[in-house]
Amino acid sequence: MKIVIMSFLLIFITGCANHPLDCATGLIAWDDCLPGTKGYEIRQQSLKNLSDAKVGKDSMDDAKCRSYGAVPGSDAYVNCRVELSK
């Protein structure tokens, strides 16, 4: 019984230090997972997906404003981009 309790405490205490179980399994992709862990890989892929989505939206907004005849840098273009971002 003491061994079971000690094992549980050891796992619990270890779990508080840098989320090793979560990071190793990828269960939760904490932002402090170490490189080489599944959690780190998942986190990096999530950040890449967010970045790609933002780039895609920026291109669509740019194309839409240009289709109205607005020239990048002009007041009309800036106003168009501000309105689309709302």
pLDDT tens across 44-60, in order? 888 888 777 777 788 89
Within 10 angstroms of residue 10's Cβ, the number of other Cβ atoms is: 10
pLDDT of residue 80: 92
Question: Angle 7-12-18 (CA atoms, 0-180°, nearest 5)?
Answer: 130
Segments of the chain scoring below 50 in pLDDT: 15-16
Q: Environment class of residue 12 by beta-carbon count within 10 Å: exposed (0-12), middle (13-18) or buried (19+)? A: exposed
The alpha carbon of residue 48 and the mean position of all alpha carbons in its chain are separated, in whole angstroms, by: 7
Contact by Cβ (8 Å): 67, 57: no
pLDDT at 16: 47
pTM over 0.75: no
